[in-house]
Structure 1
Amino acid sequence: MGKDQFIGTWKLVSAEAVRANGDVVKPLGDDPKGVIMYDTHGNMSAQLFRADRQDFASDDRAAASDSEIRAAFLSFTAYYGTFSVNDDEGVVTHHVEGSLLPNWVGGDQHRNFKLDGDRLTLTPPPREVDGQQQVSSLVWQRVR
């Protein structure tokens, strides 16, 4: 199957994380927005954000306050690069070339994947948040 199963544009329909204590959190809110695209040349791009992001007081981003900048940064993520697929392990790897988070540039982001028709679930490795392990899950719907 390989890369071909990923080719296309996918719309984010769900973004949740389950913490070790069982709590479910929605870091992008109840109505997450986003798109992830994979092309036939092996390129990918992803953008995810909260639907309830607040406007800045001004259209001039250089005039934004520290609190506006922080809120905007924490409610949006974006990166692009190339991708590879390991079907045997059920892992898609995003080889990051550019990212809102500078630390990701030049690195790999591994996602376990489950593909069910036109629905793709991506699960990054567990990570610690606020002293608790959490497992995130992003569900995408293929755009036709």
Structure 2
Amino acid sequence: MAVAFGNRFVIERDHRLTLFGYLLYSAIFLTCTVTLFYPLFDVLFQGQLQCLFQTLTGHPCPTCGYSRALSSASQGHWSQAFLYNPLWMLFMLYLAALSTLSIKALWQSKSFAIKAVWIKLFVGALLVNWVVKLVIGGGYY
């Protein structure tokens, strides 16, 4: 059985990951891990990292405030963390789950599936949060 995107990108063949599958899950793992540890990188680079989305568009990205929320929460300032990004904990859990599933897929050489409803709920919550941030303005992120 092959899991494929269209006819070109086969992730799994004969219950084993293809090269594309390994590349895809490695990219998912690296992206999620870097995003999870972005606040640490921001501290290491002394706040010099800039959001590419905000730099290009002039608007906050959908996850804007995540770094400051995580930093505030690590110092015990939970209400401030919520104001920076109310979904910061959900975002962390989602990224941690994707990272874990990617490692498992790479380790076992088998693909994984997430029910579409969970992806839709997460993306929907992220978009609602983003729209609210855009409407409220720059004071909270």
The TM-score with structure 1 as length reference comes to 0.28
Higher relative contact order (CA 8 A, sep 6+): 2
Larger Rg, first or second structure (1 or 2): 2
Higher helix fraction (1 or 2): 2
Higher strand share: 1
Normalised by the length of structure 2, the TM-score is 0.28
